[in-house]
Structure formats: structure tokens, C-alpha cells
Structure 1
Amino acid sequence: MDFNIRENRGQAQGRRTLVREREEYFRLMDQGLSSAEACKRVGINYRTGKRWRNGRAASGKDKAAPPVRVVRAPEGPSRYLREADRIHIADRLREKASVRQIAAELGRSPSTISREIRRNGMALRGDASRWAYRPYAAHARAEARRPRPKPGKIGQNPQLRDFIQRHLDLRWSPEQICQALRTQFPDRPEMHVAHETVYQALYVQGRGELRRELARALRTGRVRRKPRRQAQQRTPRFATPMVMISERPAEAEDRAVPGHWEGDLIIGKDGSSAIGTLVERATRYVMLLHLPDGRTAEHVRDALVATVQTLPSHLARSLTWDQGSEMAAHGSFTLATSIPVHFCDPASPWQRGSNENTNGLLRQYFPKATDLSVHTRDHLAAVAAELNGRPRKTLGWETPAERLAKLLATAS
């Protein structure tokens, strides 16, 4: 609706508020006009517009008045660009800075800055050849797009909704329907949707964009989505049930008793070779497993059995490993050695902290993306001896070999 400046501008308005003028003023400001230009077009005094924007402090008989639009700046880091960020973008664009320079200065991705300029820039006075990025208008447009929930695309377009409903009655899948839309309406993007949009229109409660009974036309026959990755439906990792780290003895947790080991593999180039690592939790003593024939569960099991059988019984109490497939034969390993295996929680490498630290040290000897099968058993023993001969701060500057020797002497 066109706005007309009132004719009786010289008369006092009394208690009547300038509702239409205020709405038009802020609409023009959102389009990027200056305050002075917006006031001129609406037919109000410049001070009136300033008071609407910034509020008014108490003075004499006049009471303080808050701004018409109260904008509270969010606290802490934000995933969204803020008004200050947009002002910085506008300033740097005037200085001919590149998008990547601006992104680095704001700590954002270059695509974020590029998308912001493309979406919220505007043509000057409708002339596409004259373009500018105005930060305050850009911020207002971005804020107007943010509120949720938003009306769905299907619910707003009756032709699109009817097309989808008609083809669902024909038992077409949502993906087939969406491809047909793109084929039949190639030049009408308002008729293009992703198949997930169709599923949400059917399943999400409260949308009401498609008839709920149409969900029965889907090939699954379900009227609601079936959740995935439920704990009770998860396929067991190994044939032999795992004993989790939460059931590991307390003596292993506080490192008070020696004989509890942490294990892992360091992987070579293209995942085709590996070296097994064992670290004793109390002494940080390292032992390396030679795996020249591969890293299958059987190869790892055999190498572990051969290695731990060289230890006295009081130094072979338990083994902690991650849930890698190389430990699928953990049951037969326990039968052969009487050493229980405890498994870490998924994505929890800190539960084997000593082993992870040792793997980092070993990468100095066995760099990533190299073939680890070329290293002989004697070379692995020499590397382990070198690591075990280093003094450790956590051991009071004793070496792991010295600490282990003391334990063996005490036991004898």
C-alpha cells in the first residue's frame, strides 16, 4: 500500500501516535535509506526519527523513552554474523579488500562472507548496475529471515502440494516425485523441492502440508519415521561380547599396581601395514608387535600371545584396547593367556592416554604414509629399547626400563 504524507503536518498530534509514519520510517530504514532521507519521505522531523531509533533521555518534564526497536546484542561467540561484523565487511569492501582477507579478519569461512555479500547486498534505487552492501539494511534483512518455524514450501504453494499428493496416490516415491518436478518445471524453482522436504511434510507433526494418510502410500507403510541407531538395536561389535573399560579393576585406573597394559596399532601407508604397540600403565614400558603379514584379527592375536607370554604372570594382569576390528579375536586371546581385555568407549582415545602419547613418540621413528612392513623385528626391539631408556618426568626422571627392573627385583 502506497504511503501518503499527511496534509496537516503543522498541527499537533496530541495523544495520537504516528503509527503509520513510524511503520513506514522503519520500512525505509530496513531498505537501506539514511535516517534523514526516510524522515523526509515520511514527513516527520529528523529528531522524531532519531528518537524512535535511539530513545530519549529524561529531560525536565519529559520522561525517558526507550527505542521503538530494542536490539540486545548477544553475549559470547555466535555462529551468526552480527551487526558489528557486517559493518566491518562494509568498511573493508570500500577499501577494496578481498573476500578472503575479510574472512580471515573475522575468523570466518570465505564462503560465509561471500554468501553474506551476495544475499544481503542490494541494487541502488533499483538500478542493477549500481550495487552496494549496506550493513544496517543487511543486518535487518538477515534478522527478519532468522525466526523459526518458517512456513513450509509445500504448504505455501497449492499447485506444488496437489502435484505431490496426486503422485503419492500413485505410489511414487518422494525422490521420484521431486525428479519429476524438475523435469516438468525446469524454469520454475518454486516447484522444486528435495525429497526430504516431502518426508517432513508427511511425518513432522504440526506441519499439515500433506495429508497424513498419504504416508501409508509410502513403500514402508509407516505413518511415522523409525528412529535409527537405537542402543538396543545396535549390532554387536564382535562375536564375543566386549568387557568395557568401566569394568576394569580400580587398581588399573590409579596405576598403583603394575601389569595393566594399553594397546593399539599405528597404521602405515594406505592402511596396508601396521605395528602393534603395548604400554604398561604404571611404568610406561613399551613393547612393539611385529606384524609382517598383515593386521587381521588373527595376526594381531598371535603377535599379542607371543609377546605377553614373555612376561611374568604378575606383569600380565589386563589389556585395554579400542574397538578396532583387529581385536575381533579377543576371546581366543584371553583363553590362551588368561589376560582379560577391556575395551574403551567409542571415540574416547583419552581412556588410553599413555598409549596415545607413546604412539605420537613412535611416529618420529615410523612416519605416517610410509610402509611399516619393511621394519624387522630387531629394528622394532631397538626402537622400543631406545624409548624405554629415556628418563620420564612422570616417573621422577627414572626410565621405564629402570622402573620395570625395580619391580622385577622386588618380585624375585
Structure 2
Amino acid sequence: MLSSRRVKKGPGRRPLSLARQRFVELRARGWSIMAAAREVGVSRTTGANWSRGYKTYRKGEVVGFVAPLDRLAVREISSRFLSEDERIEIADLRQAGMSIRGIADRLGRAPSTISRELRRNAHVGGGYRPFEAHRQATARRARRHRRRLETNRQLRDLVGELLAQRRSPQQVSRHLRLRHPDEPAMWLCHETIYQAVYQPGTTLLRPSRLAPHHRSPLRTGRDHRRAHQKNERRRPRFERPMLTIHQRPFAPDDRSEAGHWEGDLIIGKEQASAIGTLVKRTTRTIRLLHLPRRDSDHLHAALKDRMSDLPPALLRSVTWDQGTEMARHTTIAASLGAPIYFCDSHSPWQRGSNENANGLLRQYLPKGTDLSIHSPVHLRGVEHELNHRPRHVLADRSPAELFTALLGSPTHPVLRR
């Protein structure tokens, strides 16, 4: 007995399994619905239904919803499982009155397989509908894997606590291995943490005390993946003479001598406010400068006040960007007792530590906001939190730990890289 369902009686009567599989593959490669539908030979409406799902109506009322195609629904599966064509034949033979054992003999399946199929995938309103049964079986195959963060409450709380301190996923991942060296169940790779942060409805998006405006624990503030963008740099405007980075007695990647700093400004909304940033090249210690106004006079006063507590061995030079705030660089150099070197235009890599620190600071001082509202006390709090974070480049030691050691002994051996 031939199945009447295998005879094409009009548009859409056959399941078009191969066409649907090809359509899903093209959509996964970035094809539009119209282009993918044209390629497999179906209408745009059919392609839209496959991609977005569609409602079913009876007497003008919505009675159900057919879910969009999933890759699991159209991919080739093991012959151990019933295929869509077999389910169609089961429906036809059952409607014709054939017994379960007879259907099993026709399909070459065990009678228990047919009995279980008719019982598990029966329609709610009664009867057996092959396409709906196939969708139900597909949904059961697509069981969502529960992340370790969802099943391990201790791990989830620890990761949430570390992210609330604005530690990066890489720092959290390394911390877990250091804190639980003999418990692999407490380890996570940084990609797993990123996925948990990006997951819709995650509890990891919450503000911190020092950055209440910033819900995301990530430096970028994003709640989804996004391509990186290139930062713009300012044009040079200086008084003469000036010292360039090429006159500095060490290369940009040489960090063997303590006392050398890198500096820059982070700019607020409409370029109307700014905060000075300084980073020590050896220990990555961060210092922030509160600037009531963005000009060379206020920068001079802030640098002189903030760096006055350092011994000469820990203030040997400052490398700065070519910004107009350094118009009085000769006066600043005389006040600090240390030369000021300037990077080349469009070469932020020559101040790599400072660029990295500015990115970290944007978690607390976001772009497009008025930076003048942050008091010196708040800036000191941000300094303290960043300087007490363990850093991968420092072998998971904190900048504060190394800086304290240098204060006690300028010849203290630090990480040389």
C-alpha cells in the first residue's frame, strides 16, 4: 500500500526535506531569506515561514504556532532514530487500520519503537500528526546544556563577586585556578565567563559601588559581542624644544628600570572635562589626576601635587601623548625634576601600559559623560581598586604589591618584560 502523503498534490504538500536542509545551511552562511528561498526553489513566503515560524488559524482564530526551522530539524540523523519520512508512513498506515506490529514489520523497526512513538508524540487533541511529532522529537534532542555556573552555586557566587570588582574574565579564570588548584570543577575558561555575561537575563550585569552607572562587569560595558573600533588620536601642538621618544635612553618594550611613567588624558562629554592618567611602566601602578579644567596650568599643578611623594629613583621620566595640555612641558619637567618625552603621532603602542590602563578606567569613567563630577576622593577609590587587582602581566601579582616593594627598595627585582 502506497502512502498517499508521498504524492504531491499542490504547493507545500511534501515536506521538502532536502530543500529545507539546504535553506538552513544557506541562512547559516549569511544568505538573506529571499536569496536562500530562490536558491532552493521555494517562495519568499515559505522561506520567511521557515526562518521565523508562523501561526496556524482555524475559523479566523489562532490555534497554534509552528516554530522556525532548527538545524537539528533538517540535518541528517542516525538511522537509529525515526526519520520524518518514516513518521509520515506510520501516520498513513495507522490511519489505514494497520496494527502496531504490522507497521513495525513494514518499516523494519521493533514494535516497541512504533508503540513508543505513537504514545510519546501523540497530538494533544488526539491522533498522530507526523510533522508535529517530528518537531517534538527534534525539540527533545536539542536539550540545552546547563553551564557549570548554573549548577554550581559556590562557583557562581565567586565569579559574580570577582566580576563585581571589575576583574576581567581572564583575571577571574586565572584566580579560580590559583584559589582551587586541586578542584577542576571550580575552573572556568574566560570564554565561558564571557558567554555567561552575554547570556540574556544574566545576573552578572549589575552595578558596583564605585561604578554605579556601569552594569556590565566588562571593561567595554557591552552586553553582547561587538567588533573593535579604532581610536582617534590628537594632533601635535607643543612649545619647543621637545624631547621625542626616540631620544629616550631605552626602547618602548624595555621595562628593566623603575621610575618611568606613561601619561595621557581621558576626555569627557563634548571634550569639556578631562582626567589625567599616569601608569608606572614596571609595576603598572595607576595614578589619577583631578583636573578642574583641561589646560596646561591645571595639569602642571595636578602633576606637581600628585607626584610629590615619590623619591627620585621612582620618578625618572614621563612619556606623554602629543596633546595641547602639555604646552608647558618644559615647566612641568623642571617642577618634577624628570624629563618629559613625547610619542610619535598615531602611535599609541609607544605608551602601551597607559593605553591599557585608560581602557580599564572606562569601566568607572565611561565615554560620553561629564568627568568633572568625579571628586578626588572617588578617583582615589578607583585607583585603589585597580591597583589591588592581580595582573596577568605581573604573574598574577597586584601593582600595589610590587610598588610597595619598590618603595622599600628601589633595586627590588621586578618583572622584566
Report 1 or 2 for greater relative contact order, CA contacts < 8 Å, sequence distance ≥ 6: 2
Query: Under a length normalisation based on structure 2, what TM-score does the superposition of the two structures give?
Result: 0.42
Based on CA coordinates, which of the two structures has the bigger radius of gyration? 1
